[in-house]
Structure 1
Amino acid sequence: MWSWLLHRITGVILAFGLVYHFFMMHFIQPEAYSYEAVIQRLSEPSWKVFNIVFLLSVLYHGFYGLNGLVTEYVKNNSLKRFLKIMVFIIPLGLAFFGFKIVFL
């Protein structure tokens, strides 16, 4: 029950996050695209929080969907077990690198 609800919540976060991202990155002044402007914006704590929430939402939403596909369509039990382990491990690795990028 909670995983299904979290999947829906992350979908809403992704919808609003994408609109916000596209507005900030594609509809503002051209000088906001400079390296210095982007680095300055990414050094602000609010942007770090936005990026982490967005990253975790993307990972959970996407890999929860992949887990559903594996559960429904893969019939071979050993392959299903392997894929379920990968669906758990890969997002952890991606989250690690995402945190590393945002905070370092």
Structure 2
Amino acid sequence: MWSWLLHRITGVILVVGLLYHFVLMHFMGHDNYSYEAVMQRLSDPSWKIFNIVFLISALYHGFYGLNGLVLEYIKSDSLKKFLKIMIFVIPVALAFWGVKIVFLL
């Protein structure tokens, strides 16, 4: 039950985040996507939090969807077990790497 609900919540977070991105980057002027503007924005703690929430939401949402595909279409138990382990390990590694990058900026 909770995983299904979290999948829907992360979907909403992704839609809101993408809309905010499109408005900021495409409708608020050309000076918003210069290197200096982007680096200034990324140094703000609220943007770091936004990026981390967006990253975690995207990883959870995407890999939960992949997990559903594995459960639905993979018949081999050994392949299914391997893929489920990879579906856990890969997003954890990507999240660690992404959070590290966000905090190093």
TM bin (shorter chain): over 0.9
- In structure 2, what is the equivalent of residue 10 of structure 1? 10
Q: Which 4+ runs in 1 deviate beyond 4 A?
A: none
The DSSP-based 3-state class of the residue aligned with 2:28 is: coil
Aligned to 1:92: 92
Task: Work out the CA distance in 1 between the residues paired with 2:99 and 2:5.
Answer: 25
Amino acid at match of 1:64: Y
Confirm whether residue 72 of structure 1 aligns to residue 72 of structure 2: yes
SS in 1 for 2:3: helix
1:26: how far off?
Answer: 1.7
Question: What RMSD, in angstroms, separates the aligned Cα atoms of the two structures?
Answer: 0.7
- Provide the C-alpha distance between the structure 2 equivalents of 1:27 and 1:92, rounded to a whole number of angstroms: 34
In the other structure, the counterpart of 1:39 is 39
Paired AA for residue 41 in structure 1: R
TM-score w.r.t. structure 1 length? 0.97
Deviation at 1:3, TM superposition (A): 0.4
Q: Specify every segment of 5 or more residues in structure 2 that has no aligned partner in the other structure, as ranges.
A: none
Aligned residue-pair number: 104
Aligned partners of 2:18, 2:37: CA distance in 1, in Å?
20
TM-score w.r.t. length of structure 2 = 0.96
Aligned to 2:49: 49
Aligned counterparts of 2:14 and 2:33: Cα–Cα separation in 1 = 22
Work out the percentage of aligned pairs sharing the same amino acid: 75
Describe the SS at the equivalent of 2:75: coil
Structure 1: gaps spanning 5 or more residues: none
